[in-house]
Structure 1
Amino acid sequence: MTTVGIVGGGILGLAVGREVTRRWPGARVVVFEKENRVAAHQTGHNSGVVHAGIYYRPGSLKAELCARGRLLLRDYCAEHALPYDECGKVVVAVDAEEMARFDALEVTARENGVPDLRRLDTAALREVEPHAAGIAALHSPRTAITDYVAIARSLAAGIEAAGGEVLLSTAVTAVRRTAASVEVTHAGGSTRVDRLVLCAGLQADRVGRLAGDGPSPRIVPFRGDYMAVSEAKQHLVRGMVYPVPDPRYPFLGVHFTRRVGGGLEVGPNAVLALAREGYHRSAVRLPDLADTARWPGFWRMAGTHWRTGARELRGSLSKRAYMRVAQRYVPEIGAADVLRAGSGIRAQAVERDGSLVDDFRISTADGVTSVRNAPSPAATSSLAIAEHVVDRMAVAG
């Protein structure tokens, strides 16, 4: 019997586990998760958006796997009675200075085959989002929202129903490759597996090094803060309202998003986090901070983008500054209409030269497949990434 070990109980690791049980009947799947629950980190702290593929470089893994992943996720939610709401999204240009980026974004979205995409003028934008401000917009009606924690729990249950194991509170501390297997040392002892998949998210570089991966890229954590809109103003946004992103950065900018459980949120921004798993502004973990400070790529990145970093930090410290940016898109929702809500941490991979790794990065060698970079839209793409990973494992033999 083939045994496949998976490090990481977020949506991506669990999706890989499910795909193994589907593709290789009889294989044993063992998921190692260091927390006492699945979906504890990036999966459980995102905005719940199911992306339609507007932003990603045509021909990239992101573009390919987001398009397929959205369809797979939609069908999975329907099959398992999980929430999935195609409330739609508008990406809004608010002034003439943004139009060159807006036009380029439309070209990208159409090359990626974003379904039912429409370009809107001001009047048409008001028909879709009556309270949004802008001179042009891209409307993506198939962009959806879901509950990724519920999906992760469903995936975990499916793995266990197929005879696999999801081991909680089981941190992996060492990985040793042998001629015939891979030995995984963890909090509960050790387990021998035939193949190992690393889906460690915020700890991807550290777990990768346990398995012999190189030091680059390194994870630099960015915290994204959310604001919750008061009930009295939630009706002002029907679906989602996004800005035109700056192509120099992998972050999409502060936006308005409905949640499947009810309510409306604004965010996230993107500020350097002082702890990889610190979901509060005051959270500091010295080993994480030291890891960031020792990485030459961080300082090169900071030297290039310090102005943007300072602007994001102002928004994080001041609710008024934060909402001043958001009000460009929905002027009737201001600082008095929101309360600070939760935060998420993005695992951003940074190369030694300071460049931000944009595309998914997945490598396979000697029985170990390592997912070194899987930022947004990884949740949207998770079932398609799982197919890709298992395909790679099959080819490697």
Structure 2
Amino acid sequence: MDSIDTLIIGAGALGLACAARLARPGQSTLIVEAESLIGSHSSSRNSEVIHAGLYYPPGSLKAELCLEGRERLYTWCRTHQVAHRQLGKLLVAVESAEIARLEQLHENAEACGVHDLQRLTQAQLQELEPAVRGSCALLSPSTGIIDSHAYLQSLLAAAENRGAQLVLHTRVEHLRHDGEGWVASGNSSGEPFQLRAQLVVNAGGLFAQQLANQTEGLQDVPPLHLCQGRYFSYSGRTPFHHLIYPMPEANTAGLGIHATLDLGGQVRFGPDTRYLTQIDYRVDENLREPFANAIRRYFPELDSARLVPGYSGIRAKLAGPGEPPADFLIQTVNDHGLQGLVNLFGIESPGLTASLAIAERVAVSL
């Protein structure tokens, strides 16, 4: 049986960040990915936002790792020439009744360590974004956007430069510890395989629980809740200069249908939230009017004919419909008692922003 030092399962942002952090000359690091491309799921199907860390419960992993990851990510982008832009976002209280919620969000951000939010009056908001309707707003100058595909490629290049290897079309289906290491078995390009690794990182994203349930000796695997978020593009001239976020919708799993920009200046609206029982990336054109109604609250001049079905992503949530939001779960030997194994569960937003910080936590735990 072939033996390696480190096995990384999953070549999304988390797996590749872990590989870039853990790989080193003289040690063997293997990244396996079931799909034909890196980042085929959540890592490439999101808003491509570098989050500032405003919404999460103070002291939570999401709050801590978002702030740490944000700074690491901006530095990484500058060092590795990954296209990004720190353009800022506006959090808008559309109606005066929402001002109290905006202030609560400001207080939460302060408690999380975000101290650069700027209050804007209605006049200041109109000056910055004439197309946006609102009573007042907060400006988050630390928020940015990133080319997620270029980021994934930069992580892979860094990992490979340190000796890691990537194998696609390879799914690990079972893990067991045989006293000498972790024996991983599965299928690679249609052929069964087995190998032994001293360290294993399960960064399978939407499929992390599936492997965890086939890991001998592992107890207390958390449930997975698939939550789809759909996006519409907006053709033609861009109406905004910043990202535009309304107040988070009550009793939903997301932040509301907001406006983001890509690095080419194209506007996209989304995501919405819809729990699923299986992965489904379709975007129904019949969603146009529900999207338009939500967007017109803060962008009254929206032309719904310019809304074009875009793409969707799936969030790997640990909380189901109507349940309080769950934190990231970085499951280490202290949690499960199995030496040399780390499972990453529920790494939804702000997972892309936090990816380098999560990789650091993984490295320290092994």
Conservation of the 8 A alpha-carbon contact between 1:324 and 1:334: no
Shift of 1:41: 0.4
Aligned: 1:243 with 2:246: yes
**1:8-48 Cα shifts (integer Å, max 9, x gaps):** 10001100111112xx5533211110001101000111110
Aligned: 1:207 with 2:207: no
Match of 2:81 in 1: 81
Aligned: 1:279 with 2:281: yes
The answer to which of 83-92 and 154-163 deviates more is 154-163
Distance 1:354 1:198 in 2: 28
Match of 1:288 in 2: none
Distance 1:204 1:272 in 2: 18
Match of 2:101 in 1: 101
Opposite residue 327 of structure 2, the aligned amino acid is D
Distance 1:86 1:190 in 2: 45
Alignment: residue pair count = 354
**1:103-154 Cα shifts (integer Å, max 9, x gaps):** 2111011222325210111111112222111112110012000011211111
Match of 2:267 in 1: 264
Distance 1:4 1:337 in 2: 48
Match of 1:330 in 2: 299
Identity of aligned residues (%): 34
1:356 to 1:218, Cα distance in 2 relative to 1, 3 A: farther
Conservation of the 8 A alpha-carbon contact between 2:25 and 2:163: no
3-state SS, counterpart of residue 74 of structure 2: helix
Distance 1:319 1:231 in 2: 16
Shift of 1:156: 1.1
**Structure 1 stretches lacking a partner, 5+ long:** 283-315
Match of 1:379 in 2: 352
**1:191-248 Cα shifts (integer Å, max 9, x gaps):** 110011111111121111122444642212122111111213x1x1112000111465
**1:278-319 Cα shifts (integer Å, max 9, x gaps):** 21158xxxxxxxxxxxxxxxxxxxxxxxxxxxxxxxxx8431
Distance 1:124 1:250 in 2: 30
Conservation of the 8 A alpha-carbon contact between 1:54 and 1:114: yes
The structure 1 residue matched to 2:323, chosen from 335, 338, 355, is 355
Equivalences for 1:184-199 in 2 at 5 Å?
184-188=184-188, 189-199=193-203
3-state SS, counterpart of residue 150 of structure 1: helix
Distance 2:305 2:322 in 1: 38
Match of 2:227 in 1: 222
1:248 to 1:387, Cα distance in 2 relative to 1, 3 A: farther
Match of 2:170 in 1: 170
Equivalences for 1:1-397 in 2 at 5 Å?
3-21=5-23, 26-188=26-188, 189-212=193-216, 213-214=218-219, 216-232=221-237, 234=238, 236-246=239-249, 248-276=251-279, 278-281=280-283, 317-350=286-319, 355-365=323-333, 366=338, 367-393=340-366
Cα RMSD after superposing both structures: 2.0
Conservation of the 8 A alpha-carbon contact between 2:261 and 2:268: yes
TM-score after normalising by structure 1: 0.84
Conservation of the 8 A alpha-carbon contact between 1:209 and 1:215: no
Distance 2:123 2:264 in 1: 30
Opposite residue 177 of structure 1, the aligned amino acid is H
3-state SS, counterpart of residue 186 of structure 1: strand
3-state SS, counterpart of residue 75 of structure 2: helix
1:356 to 1:193, Cα distance in 2 relative to 1, 3 A: farther
Conservation of the 8 A alpha-carbon contact between 1:53 and 1:114: yes
Conservation of the 8 A alpha-carbon contact between 2:283 and 2:310: no
Distance 2:185 2:4 in 1: 19
The answer to which of 362-371 and 41-50 deviates more is 362-371
Distance 1:356 1:219 in 2: 14
Conservation of the 8 A alpha-carbon contact between 1:349 and 1:356: no
Distance 2:319 2:37 in 1: 28
Distance 1:318 1:66 in 2: 31
Distance 1:54 1:381 in 2: 13
Opposite residue 64 of structure 1, the aligned amino acid is E
Distance 1:144 1:177 in 2: 42
Opposite residue 370 of structure 1, the aligned amino acid is N
Distance 1:75 1:19 in 2: 15
Distance 1:85 1:165 in 2: 30
Conservation of the 8 A alpha-carbon contact between 1:216 and 1:350: no
Distance 1:166 1:78 in 2: 25
Distance 1:81 1:54 in 2: 27
Conservation of the 8 A alpha-carbon contact between 1:208 and 1:372: no
